[in-house]
Amino acid sequence: GVAVPDAVNRWRIARLREMGSNAYRAAHHPPTPELLDACDELGMLVMDENRTFGSSPEALDQLRTMVKRDRNHPCVILWSICNEESIQTTEVSGRIARAMVDEVKKLDRWRPVTAAVSGGVLHQGCIGDPLDVMSINYQLPAHDQYHARYPRRPLIASETHCVLSTRGVRATDDPAGLFASDDTAVLPWGATARDTWRFVRERSFIAGLFAWTGFDYRGEPAPARWPIVCSQVGMLDVCGFPKDAFHLHRAWWTRNSFVHLSPHWNHKLGQTIRVRAYSNCEAVELFLNGRSLGRAAVDPIEMAAWEVPFEPGELRAVAYRGEEVAATAVLQTTGAARALRLSEDDAPLIGSARAPDARIIAVYAVDEQDRPVPDASHVVAFTVEGDGRMLCVGNGDPTRALPAQSDTIALFNGLAQVIVQLRGQATLHASAPGLLPACLHIHPPDADDGRAFAAPVTRRHFITDWRRSPASPTRPDPNQRVSESDMNSWERVTLAPGIAPPPIIHDGYVIYRATFTLPRSMQAGGAELVFEKIAGEAEVFLDGSAVGKVAPCGAFPFRVTIPGSAGKRTLSVLTRGAANSGGIAGAVEIVNT
């Protein structure tokens, strides 16, 4: 019953991808199709989860609806029939699970079926028996026990962590419902992020984990009570602003070098601050006002930390790979807030095949030097001028039960958010007592011509289906005839973007052969064949005639111009190179001249 703009779904998936996440568990119901569209486009794998565990006609019909609706989404890799069912330890659960698995297999026999199980993991005759993949919620020791009993069954840690944290909070205040962002406030059934990741990464038989949760969400505020209405177990708050847990997982799950310092550097004289550096580099050196506070190795689980007596100024981190500087981060003590700023997050626009139906805008305050003030708490009022309207506001504060539909919101630890629905051009205005106001002009991507937005689609033409001869120590006839029925001496290989062809086993000459027909738009004027890469020497033949030659260490991509024709063409490429490193090593594309 919750209406969410498509752009917000896409933005949330993009935030998780930024953290390094590559899989999304749709807990505990099938997601909206638009979220699956975003996962398809952004490369996020999905565990698609059914809501109702049962074998009644209605329950099975709901299951069939999910599978038929979602089975053509390439992002979906796994069907989950349920989550933490109360009867999961009984034999009845085994019979129901068998009926549900059988129903899924009638509609999709390729994808495996699982269930998220929280009890009776080792019980026989229960829910786990008919599953293709066992998914265990929490209970880290149970993973070892299950694998010892069923060593050939794939295993996923389907729900882990459950660590409370509040964005921007350094010290836990239980009565206030605020929790430090230091990976210590663990709910009784969970485990710290660090202990969980250490456990999983040491066990190759666990395919991966799903952490509870990516984002904070409304409901389940335990152990806090009213007026606290939000959970606080996310790596990002409800607005999608990162907590320390976001940067911790980013250090574990991404490769591009980075370093992030926490907390901010607005404190009081006399305080000693534990400064943490989150990084995927090998070492980090910390500087305070130009003085080195020491270089620390980055523990791959724990990260790096220093106890630093506060003094105003600049805290700077330099991250290293070997002796090379790989990344830097800077924190500065700011002055008092002077002005508001509005910043649009364009993640929903990038690569999307549809017009964004909402714009996500961050709100913050800056000092005289235009530096964001991390502890600002001003109440900000908003108006929209033009062809748009405010959908909601938020700030990630879990302790305030405030309406999302409002034209005011306070900054919480320096940040707030506005989501604007756009029909045409609009201007968002923000104001707060004592601060200079801000405005942001928002333009739809199709504002100039009024047409529905669509990302430009360029159809590309690749020659993908090839046959490859055995290696020969002497130069063979590159145009020799090969029977179409010969499935043994010449092997079939696929050459396509992102697909590495199988290596050539022996030194020598190898012939690649393919047939193709030029696209209709190129049949009159001709085309170019573009070879992404060829390792070693090569000669290119079209319909028996030589059309190009590649020298060793030649420049790539290598292009060959061919005349237009409406008929089927035969392309032969004679390569010469060393074992495991010769031959066509990339895609072959047909392009307009």
Residue 347 contacts residue 340 (beta carbons within 8 Å): no
Per-residue pLDDT band for 355 (boundaries 50, 70, 90) equals low
Give the whole-angstrom CA distance, residue 487 versus residue 484: 8
73 lies in the same domain as 147: yes
Which CATH number belongs to the domain containing residue 381 in this structure? 2.60.40.10
Say how many CA atoms lie within 13 Å of 152 toward its Cβ. 0
What mean pLDDT comes out for the span 476-495? 81
Per-residue pLDDT band for 506 (boundaries 50, 70, 90) equals confident
Query: What percent of the chain stands above pLDDT 90?
Result: 75
Radius of gyration of the chain (CA): 29
Last residue of a domain, one of 190, 222, 247: 247
Last residue of a domain, one of 184, 219, 247: 247
Q: What is the pLDDT of residues 522-579, one digit of tens each?
A: 888 889 999 998 888 899 999 999 999 988 766 788 999 999 888 889 999 999 988 7
User: Above 90 in pLDDT, residue 26?
Assistant: yes
User: Above 90 in pLDDT, residue 340?
Assistant: yes
Query: Which pair of tokens denotes residue 213?
Result: 């949760």
Residue 270 maps to a domain: no
Residue 339 maps to a domain: no
386 lies in the same domain as 471: no
Instruction: Report the run of H or E that residue 135 belongs to, with start and end.
Output: strand 134-137
Query: What percent of the chain stands above pLDDT 70?
Result: 94
Give the whole-angstrom CA distance, residue 26 versus residue 38: 13
Residue 340 maps to a domain: no
User: Above 60 in pLDDT, residue 153?
Assistant: yes
Per-residue pLDDT band for 448 (boundaries 50, 70, 90) equals very low
Per-residue pLDDT band for 403 (boundaries 50, 70, 90) equals confident
Query: Which pair of tokens denotes residue 424?
Result: 């045409």
438 lies in the same domain as 520: no
528 lies in the same domain as 495: yes
500 lies in the same domain as 437: no
142 lies in the same domain as 232: yes
Per-residue pLDDT band for 493 (boundaries 50, 70, 90) equals confident
Distances (CA, A) of 60 to 71, 102, 131, 335, 544: 16, 10, 16, 61, 60
Q: What is the mean pLDDT of the chain?
A: 91
Residue 265 maps to a domain: no
Residue 113 maps to a domain: yes
Number of domains within the chain: 3
Domain that includes residue 176, residue range: 6-247
Q: Which residue has the tokens 């506060």?
A: 310
Give the whole-angstrom CA distance, residue 518 versus residue 104: 42
Q: What is the pLDDT of residues 28-69, one digit of tens each?
A: 999 999 999 999 999 999 999 999 999 999 999 999 999 999
Provide CB contacts within 8 A for 80, sequence distance 6+.
25, 47, 48, 49, 50, 113, 114, 115, 116, 135, 158
414 lies in the same domain as 519: no
Identity at 141, one-letter amino acid code: P
Residue 591 contacts residue 543 (beta carbons within 8 Å): no
191 lies in the same domain as 243: yes
State in Å, rounded, how far the first CA of the chain is from the last one: 53
Q: What is the pLDDT of residues 286-331, one digit of tens each?
A: 999 999 999 999 999 999 999 999 999 999 999 999 999 999 999 9
User: Above 70 in pLDDT, residue 444?
Assistant: yes
User: Above 50 in pLDDT, residue 499?
Assistant: yes
Count CB atoms within 10 A of the CB of residue 561: 11
Give the whole-angstrom CA distance, residue 342 versus residue 365: 9
pLDDT recorded at residue 452: 42
Q: What is the pLDDT of residues 162-211, one digit of tens each?
A: 999 999 999 999 989 999 999 999 999 999 999 999 999 999 999 999 99
Q: Is 134 helix (H, G, I), strand (E, B) or coil?
A: strand
Query: Burial code of 514-538, b = ≥16 C-beta within 10 A, e = fewer?
Result: bebebeeebeeeebebbbbebbbbb
Residue 348 maps to a domain: no
Give the whole-angstrom CA distance, residue 10 versus residue 105: 30
User: Above 50 in pLDDT, residue 453?
Assistant: no
35 lies in the same domain as 167: yes
Give the whole-angstrom CA distance, residue 85 versus residue 59: 14
Which CATH number belongs to the domain containing residue 568 in this structure? 2.60.120.260
55 lies in the same domain as 103: yes
- Which residue has better confidence, 364 or 459? 364
Last residue of a domain, one of 220, 247, 274: 247
Residue 492 class from Cβ within 10 Å (0-12 exposed, 13-18 middle, 19+ buried)?
A: exposed
Least confident interval from 75-89, 105-119, 508-522: 508-522
Residue 267 maps to a domain: no
119 lies in the same domain as 31: yes
Which CATH number belongs to the domain containing residue 15 in this structure? 3.20.20.80
Residue 311 maps to a domain: no
Per-residue pLDDT band for 456 (boundaries 50, 70, 90) equals very low
431 lies in the same domain as 470: no
What mean pLDDT comes out for the span 432-455? 70
pLDDT recorded at residue 42: 94
